[in-house]
């Protein structure tokens, strides 16, 4: 099975712009989660989607949003970018069965200048 | 709110020595605990889960509810164990992980 695929791998944006990140989960996985990874805060949960519905949300401002499509692919959007949004954004997929575990992608490295 | 603490940012041992990576959590209920590992230039991946009570790559971890700990242990460290290790907690009621800040393990030859 192909792993979780995130595109693009790298992004450079300017303050005030918006950005969209994409994630394709492992085939058959219907849950997609997003995490932000920074040196200072570590891995922080953004949100989780299942069957196109957001089930969980982390403590991030409304500038961070996401969605999930019927094929389970997910996108994350950040509007009005700030310098502090520079981070590695990780997507993870999972099943919802008994053996629950997250399978991570390689991430999108976002740099805001 | 739940919290995961990994007290050591860096841990260095010699090959063949025992290794223990500490993890403490704060949550009054019954969480599910995990260890994730990230080797150099690889993606973050699951190492083991407390529910499975398994040994992966020689690593084991026991959930101690009294001490709210989930330490990761290996009796004889190998150089290929050098990596970043994250302890993570999941509440049974949701599908998100709360991660510790991670411990960078270096196994010296």
Q: What distance in Å separates the CA atoms of residue B24 and residue B26, rounded to the nearest whole number?
A: 7
Nearest to B87 by CA among B7, B4, B11: B4
Q: Residue by residue, what is the 3-state secondary structure of A19-81?
A: EEEEEECCCCCCEEEEEEEECCCEEEEEEEEECCEEEEECCCCCCEEEEECCCCCEEEEECCC
Which of A4, A102, A106 lies closest to B97 in CB terms?
A102
DSSP-derived letter for residue B16 is T
Measure the CA angle with vertex B36, ends B32 and B38; round to 5°: 170
pLDDT at A64 over 70: yes
Per-residue pLDDT tens for A16-56? 999 999 999 999 999 999 999 999 899 999 999 999 999 98
Q: Which chain A residue lies closest to B86 (C-alpha atoms)?
A: A43
Helix (H, G, I), strand (E, B) or coil at A86: coil
- Compute how many other C-beta atoms are within 10 angstroms of the C-beta atom of residue A29: 19
Mean pLDDT of chain A: 94
Find the farthest-apart pair of alpha carbons in chain B and give their distance in angstroms, rounded: 44
Per-residue pLDDT tens for B21-49? 999 999 877 789 999 999 999 999 999 98
Q: Find residue B30's DSSP bridge partners.
A: none
Residues of A with CB under 8 A from a CB of B: 3-4, 31, 33, 35, 42-45, 48, 50, 55-56, 58, 90, 94, 96, 100-107
Phi and psi torsions of A83, nearest 5°: -55, -35
Q: What distance in Å separates the CA atoms of residue B59 and residue B49, rounded to the nearest whole number?
A: 11
Q: What distance in Å separates the CA atoms of residue A15 and residue B65, rounded to the nearest whole number?
A: 46
Q: Which two tokens stand for residue B61?
A: 């971890």
Which residues from B are below 8 Å from A108, CB to CB?
none
Which residues from B are below 8 Å from A58, CB to CB?
96
């Amino acid at each position: 099975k192909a792993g979780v695929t995130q595109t693009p791998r790298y992004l450079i944006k300017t303050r005030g712009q918006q950005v969209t990140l994409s994630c394709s989960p492992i085939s058959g996985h219907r849950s997609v989660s997003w995490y932000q990874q920074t040196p200072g805060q570590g891995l922080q949960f953004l949100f989780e989607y299942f069957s196109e519905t957001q089930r969980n949300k982390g403590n991030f401002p409304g500038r961070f949003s996401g969605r999930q499509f019927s094929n389970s692919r997910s996108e994350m959007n950040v509007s009005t970018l700030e310098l502090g949004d520079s981070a590695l954004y990780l997507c993870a997929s999972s099943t919802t069965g008994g053996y629950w575990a997250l399978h991570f992608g390689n991430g999108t490295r976002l740099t805001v200048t | 709110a739940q919290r995961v603490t990994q007290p050591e940012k860096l841990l260095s041992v010699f090959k063949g020595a025992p290794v223990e990576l500490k993890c403490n959590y704060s949550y009054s209920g019954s969480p599910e605990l995990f260890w994730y590992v990230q080797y150099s230039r690889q993606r973050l991946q699951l190492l083991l889960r407390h529910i499975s009570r398994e040994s992966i790559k020689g690593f084991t971890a026991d959930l101690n509810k009294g001490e709210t700990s989930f330490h990761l242990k290996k009796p004889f460290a190998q150089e290929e164990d050098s990596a970043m290790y994250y302890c993570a907690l999941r509440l049974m009621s949701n599908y998100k992980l709360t991660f510790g800040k991670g411990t960078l393990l270096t196994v010296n030859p």
